[in-house]
Amino acid sequence: MRIPRLKTKDLVSITDLTRDEIMQIFRFAARLKKNAARGKHPNLLNKKSLAMIFEKSSTRTRVSFETGISQLGGHALFLDGNDIQLKRGETIVDTARVLSRYVDGIMIRTFSHQNVVELANSASIPVINGLSDTFHPCQALADFFTIYEREESLSGVTLAYVGDGNNVANSLIQCAALLGVNISVACPSDYTPDASVIEESQRLASASGSSLEITPDPHKAVKDADYVYTDVWISMGEEQAAAKKKKILSKYKITKNLLASCKKNCMVMHCLPAHRDEEIEGDILDSDRSIVFDQAENRMHVQKAIMCALMRR
């Protein structure tokens, strides 16, 4: 099996990768997934260790990374943010240097994106962004892999994102722009994606021949969509703003009425966990139009490909 060859040491954001590198990851993930379905797991990360730092809790991130590296012959160490010395008794720089002497890679799920940047800059081993407040690259790669395995080609595909312009939206925009996928994002003016991400992605979209649109109108956003995507309205750490955000975002719910504005065979995506009947109607999440659990499974296969690419140097 040909392991993807990446120029970057780390995966901090989607733009660490080129379009060709993303496609290499997708093709390799497809092979890993096919083998896994047959009960075959190549021993590609034999005796490799991954330190997993969690300042934010997670179901999918922990289980997919931990199971994924185990399938490939390695093992993961769960490091709760409350149990280690990160930023309290020890600087991020020192933590990075210490872990670099112990393990072969680091995955971090944290609040401040600067934590990921500092960790990557200071570690001599690969650092993978498992989520920060600004980006969620592993999720976006799994999402577009899910579309890729359905379409076999991403050319001409249109994705609509409806809801809060959060870290997932930022990474989806970057990934779409690099891959040449058209993306339309519907969100209220108070909760648009990061302005620098939009500016950079507009340039990337122009180069790849795709389009990027930001609109306050969800019906306009989904009009030509092959896939409609949403996420929770309240991210971890935003609980105090919950009431205000829910009121503003109430018009950005995925409903049967909204899907009537889409293409006939449009599919629905969600990165999970979902707040049923808040950002999406529960019946839609469970319908034949939903591919959310395909996305969840593909987190593991794509992350296996990423770990192999970064940790098998």
Quick: pLDDT tens for 154-202.
999 999 999 999 999 999 999 999 999 999 999 999 999 999 999 999 9
Active site residue 262: no
**R_g of the chain, CA atoms, integer Å:** 19
CB atoms within 10 A of CB 25: 26
Half-sphere exposure for 115 (CA within 13 Å, toward CB): 25
Domains in the chain: ranges and CATH:
14-135+299-311 (3.40.50.1370), 138-295 (3.40.50.1370)
Nearest-5° angle of CA 116, CA 279, CA 136? 15
Residue 95 to residue 89: CA distance in whole angstroms: 10
Task: Given the residues 136, 138, 187, 226, select the one marked as catalytic.
Answer: 136
Task: Given the residues 231, 262, 301, 303, select the one marked as catalytic.
Answer: 231
278-302: b (≥16 Cβ within 10 Å) or e:
bbbbeebbeeebbbbebbbebbbbb
For residue 53, the cross-strand partners are 79, 108
- Check residue 83 and give its pLDDT: 76
Active site residue 20: no
Task: Given the residues 270, 299, 301, 308, select the one marked as catalytic.
Answer: 299
Take residue 195 and report the two structure tokens written for it. Answer: 């302005």
More confident residue, 85 or 211: 211
DSSP 40-76: ----TTTT-EEEEEESS--SHHHHHHHHHHHHTT-EE
Residues 6+ apart with CB under 8 A from 44: 1, 3, 72, 73, 308, 312
Quick: pLDDT tens for 220-275.
999 999 999 999 999 877 788 889 999 999 999 999 999 999 999 999 999 999 99
Active site residue 266: no
Active site residue 97: no
- Check residue 167 and give its pLDDT: 97
Task: Given the residues 60, 109, 270, 301, select the one marked as catalytic.
Answer: 109
pTM over 0.95: yes
Residue 131 to residue 105: CA distance in whole angstroms: 16
Half-sphere exposure for 154 (CA within 13 Å, toward CB): 26
More confident residue, 59 or 237: 59
Task: Quote the percentage of the chain above a pLDDT of 90.
Answer: 91
Side by side, the strands of the sheet bearing 105-109 are 75-80, 49-54, 105-109, 127-131
Task: Given the residues 138, 175, 187, 271, select the one marked as catalytic.
Answer: 271
Task: Given the residues 71, 139, 174, 303, select the one marked as catalytic.
Answer: 139
Give the least confident one: 70-74, 102-106, 201-205, 240-244: 240-244
Active site residue 271: yes
Active site residue 276: no
Residues 6+ apart with CB under 8 A from 41: 35, 71, 72, 73
